[in-house]
Amino acid sequence: MSGGLLDGRLVVVVGAGGVGKTTLAAALALGSARAGQRTLAMTFDPSLRLKDALGVGEAAKDEPVRVRLSGGGQLDVALLDAKRTFDRLIRTYAPDAAAAERIFSNRFYQDMAGNLAGILEYMAMERLFEMRALDRYDRIILDTPPTRQALDFLQAPERMMNLVDSKAIRFAMDPWWDGKGEKNLAFRLAAKGALELSDRLIGRRFLLDVVEFIRAFAPLFDGFRRRAEEVRDLLKVNTTRFLLVTGPGPERVPDAMFFLRKLKESGHHLGPILVNQVHPDPGAEAGQDRGLDLLRFLAGRDQRGLALLRSLFPAPQRIIPVGLEALPPSDLGSLERLFNRLVTKSLE
């Protein structure tokens, strides 16, 4: 019994940064593997401590690495690398080697790949598509990028579909860029009195690099659009569950509510809400000093936040508090204990 924590074949762990969702995702993945499910944990640049706990290093970049589990269970871990994923997609889907090299040699691509806003989220979507297509795993646990509202990943499929149909793409594909495109561009801009302005704002060389990248990338657009549609649908099927991780305290509630509203409006299926790092109350019998007074204050604040969440999201919505640990998980044993605590709290 997992108390609804592992109901989906795909479990997407979402939430703002700094709430411990990567650690919780690792614990859930370990629990899934222990339950006999072939499990893949996909995550973004976890801390060195968590890498050590899972027993994986740089070898896990982009390609799944098997975690050595004593006592049974299959758990693979892949540390998502946007640049490697982007490069591999180009090699795979470019019509030929020359087309791929045209993209790789483009200065805009060299500077942009893996760094441009939204690329991390979109590459996560692409890698998820690839791993699901292989059908090697009974369950995939996906730790989403550490963005403030963690919405970029959910919006990545729609953004990609919009991008390939955008005015900017049609502009770049205009026939007058062919041949001596640079001279044609200079003539067009000069004719409009805009050459000086374009150089000052973005630089003509940069603009030409962007246009050249889009034109080189054009043969891949249909494939990207198709996969974006399939991932959008995958994220909304009944076998996909979203677990929202939030921090305790009333000040966290607006962010949690905003994200939950977006999930429901977009037709995604929500699992339990995990309220992580809840401070324990030492109780009055523990005595009085500044440290204990601060702990009592934080515990009271966290309980007010929990009460507010429960009033806003009554049953059957599950809200699971997860107590703050003195030391974060540092090995497989402590991750497994964390998972067991999650299950215990989810069944209360």
Average pLDDT, the chain: 79
Q: How far apart (Å, rounded) are the C-alpha atoms in residues 204 and 210?
A: 10
Q: Which fold has domain 10-83+123-151+240-346?
A: Rossmann fold (3.40.50)
In this prediction, what percent of the chain has a pLDDT beyond 90? Answer: 28
Q: Tell the residue number behind the tokens 């801009």, with chain if given.
A: 189
Tokens in use for 27?
Answer: 């614990």
How does strand 240-246 pair with strand 10-14?
parallel
Other C-beta atoms within 10 Å of 226: how many? 12
Mean local confidence (pLDDT), 77-100 = 83
Residue 334 near residue 53 (C-beta atoms within 8 A): yes
Q: How far apart (Å, rounded) are the C-alpha atoms in residues 28 and 26?
A: 5
Q: Tell the residue number behind the tokens 């690495």, with chain if given.
A: 65
pLDDT of residue 240: 93
pLDDT of residue 174: 59
pLDDT category of residue 164 using cuts at 50, 70 and 90: low
SS (H, E, C) 185-236: HHHHHHHCCCHHHHHHHCCHHHHHHHHHHHHHHHHHHHHHHHHHHHHHHHCC
Tell whether pTM > 0.85: no
Q: Computed from CA positions of residues 319, 324, 328, 332, in that sequence, does the dihedral angle turn out positive or negative?
A: negative
pLDDT of residue 53: 75
Other C-beta atoms within 10 Å of 216: how many? 21
Q: Is the pLDDT of residue 204 over 90?
A: no
Helix, strand, or coil (residue 84): helix
Q: Residue 276: name the closest of 9, 17, 98, 51 by CA.
A: 17
Mean local confidence (pLDDT), 153-160 = 68
pLDDT of residue 118: 62
Q: Which residue has the higher pLDDT, 252 or 39?
A: 39
Q: Residue 41: name the closest of 51, 28, 52 by CA.
A: 28
pLDDT digits (tens, 9 = 90+) for 266-293: 889 999 999 999 999 888 777 778 888 8
pLDDT digits (tens, 9 = 90+) for 181-202: 444 555 554 544 444 544 454 4
The domain ranges of the chain are: 10-83+123-151+240-346
Mean local confidence (pLDDT), 52-65 = 73
Mean local confidence (pLDDT), 51-56 = 76
Q: Is the pLDDT of residue 208 over 70?
A: no
